[in-house]
A and B are shown apart, each in its own frame.
Chain A
Amino acid sequence: MATTQSQGKRRRSEPDPNSNGKAGSRRKQQDQQVDTDKLIGFYQKMIQIRLFEDAALRGFRTGKIGGYLHVYSGQEAVASGFLDTFRDGDYVITAYRDHAHVLLLGSDPKAVMAELYGKGAGLVKGKGGSMHLFDTARGMYGGYGIVGGHIPLGVGMAFGQAYKKTGGITQLYLGDGAIHNGAFHEGANLAGLWGKDGLNPTLFVLENNQYGMGTSVERATAMTDLSRKFESYGIEHTQVDGMDLEAVLTVAHEAADRVRETGKPFAVEAMTYRIGPHGAADFLEKYRTKEEVRKWRERDPIGLLENRLEELGVEDDRLEKIRADAKTLTEEVVAFADESPEPAIEELITDVYTTNDPVRTSG
């Protein structure tokens, strides 16, 4: 049991469940000043992700990328902030809007784009595509295409970390659309239950981008304060402005430390917006107005970060150089993906089983 003093300390570092998305203003009350160089590093990462996603959309529209393609544009501050807390031994699991997560964990962008292009050098050998990015050596355990279906998996992975006393935690990302799915409720219930015994270090990151595909939160549930859904399962929670990188960083570090320390789950609802389409084939966007998108674009996380860097006196030349370098790298990434060979046809039947692969199922 912690001493009174350390309990007091912990209480101060706890995210405030009543913060109601005003973490940005709370930030200013705190002394935590993320230094300028670190912010520039984030700017570099976020620009790189944005350009990667723009290139992926072009690849889809020119027929280089097949299937479904869900880009992360507009939500960059969320994964960038939370994955800043990542330590070796942690796990990350998310749904199908997964490019940014794997890039932020340090996977080779060429291998990621090659996967989107369906190439043998792809991150998962061209077998999964955009929705199934894995890089387990870096903690990335997918990339799942069924809304809500990955949530129980993440809860089980966190149980495994606690059971084996690895010290790791699982960052479990889900969208607002997933919270209405039964798998969320079953998984969250287990997380809360197992957390009572310190057996569930799951950090739920609810990326509320306002729409489950084309259905707004208001059209999907009568109880629109989504982070409170975790309350039903004994999981403490808070909200954060997911467009404000510094706000996300503050809350993410507090939350991750707390999960690591207690072995109990904690949930953060990051209020964000996808400025791009739901999927690359979502051309009409009949479910939202141009005015709404324009309004959110004013709060584009990259734009907000540029303003902040300007405020801190960073010269635009420095940012321009970052943008130019990111553009060059993106061109190299696309060229690599485009020129890479397709998977060998023999790859079709491997990786179905670990042993006896391919398994003999007839004759």
Chain B
Amino acid sequence: MPVKTYRDALRSAMAEEMERDESVVLLGEDIGVYGGTHLVTNGLIDQFGPKRVIDTPIAENGFTGAAIGMAMAGMKPVVEMMTWNFSFQAADQIIQNAAKIRYFSGGQVSIPLVIRGPNGGGVQLSAQHTHSLEGFYGHFPGLKVVSPSTPEDVKGMMLTAIRDPDPVIFLEAGALYGTKGEVPDGDYTVEFGKARVAREGSDVTLVGYGRQVNLLLRIAEKLAADEKIDAEVIDLRSIRPFDGDTIVASVRKTHRAVVVQEQWRWFSVASEVAAIIQEQAFDELDAPVARVSGAETPAPYARNLEIAAFPSERQVIDAIRGVLYLEQSATSAKSA
């Protein structure tokens, strides 16, 4: 199977679907002539022209709203948020219009819209340019929210997203654009609402999504080698719809779970995962579900502070040891 970067896999999904379907257009800031801030759309304007790869002014409310209108008129627009941080400017369009029009029109209108872009932090962009918005957008009925972590999934889920008749919030792991993996050629889709067991194990269930999945896989290998702890790693992939079944099945096997996320803990995806586990597998649990989350602060700039603000290997290992009732490491920092 060919090896591609996350970025190239994403681009090929959009390009292939644009070849197949003329109603697919791309809109966003500097996605055309400039090539895209993160080069995801690089070269597409040469292939498809400025009528289909539309450079917009820096006005997220306007172009996101216009894309919703295009979708209502039978097109399939894919909007790039240069980063999801800017989507607050478009929040009225996304939440008040895209998520609700189908409902308040009594089912007369569908909004086949994808909004995509990098989510999360890790590159010292500080407070206004660092957010993980999966919990925020996952809150709203009417939206679908996904967060693929591998090149294979990012292509298959983008194809699913573009073909979905409803609005999809496509949260890319910005830190993973350059990572490589096997990506099938041609047309394939990855269904929404299905988590992926990224590593099988029997002692503890680790749940994450986006760039945390790679952290969890690293930790799982380390624990297997050093301490004979066999961790199962679940990549959620899809935040809404949500795959509770895969998580519960895993917990029935391991009886312990640690949920790891970059976003803030309060009212978050990890909180929802913990609630679902206690609702559906209460008697299976040998320990309370542990959550490892971002620090309850706006994102800091300094490198050391930023590292401390996001889940670290140490914090996750301590949480795993906690649910296994093993001793904590001596230098353990309390997770925020």
Contact = CB atoms under 8 A, between A and B. Distances in A.
Interface of A: 91, 93, 122-128, 132, 134-136, 141-144, 146, 149-161, 163-164, 182-183, 185-187, 189-190, 193, 197, 199, 350-356, 359-363
Interface string B54-70: 00110101111111111
Given A134-B108, A163-B51, A362-B242, A156 B70 contact: yes
Given A153-B97, A363-B276, A160 B72 contact: yes
Interface residues of B, number: 53
Interface stretch (B32-40, B99-107, B307-315, B320-328): B99-107
A29 B104 CA distance: 46
B74 A146 contact: no
B280 interface: yes
B65 A152 contact: yes
Contacts of A353: 102, 142, 144, 166
26 contacts: A125-B107, A127-B105, A128-B103, A128-B105, A136-B105, A136-B108, A142-B101, A146-B96, A149-B93, A150-B97, A153-B68, A155-B69, A156-B65, A156-B68, A156-B69, A161-B73, A164-B23, A182-B61, A183-B61, A185-B62, A186-B59, A193-B57, A199-B51, A353-B166, A355-B166, A359-B144
Interface in B57-93: 57, 59, 61-75, 77, 92-93
A10 B164 CA distance: 44
B201 interface: no
A156 B103 contact: no
Given A149-B97, A189-B57, A361 B241 contact: yes
Nearest to A126: B106
Contacts of B66: 152-153, 155-156, 159, 187, 190
Contacts of B183: none
A142 B110 CA distance: 13
A189 B58 CA distance: 11
Contacts of B73: 91, 156-157, 159-161, 164
Contacts of B26: none
Nearest 4 Cβ contacts at the A-B interface: A156-B69, A152-B65, A160-B73, A186-B62
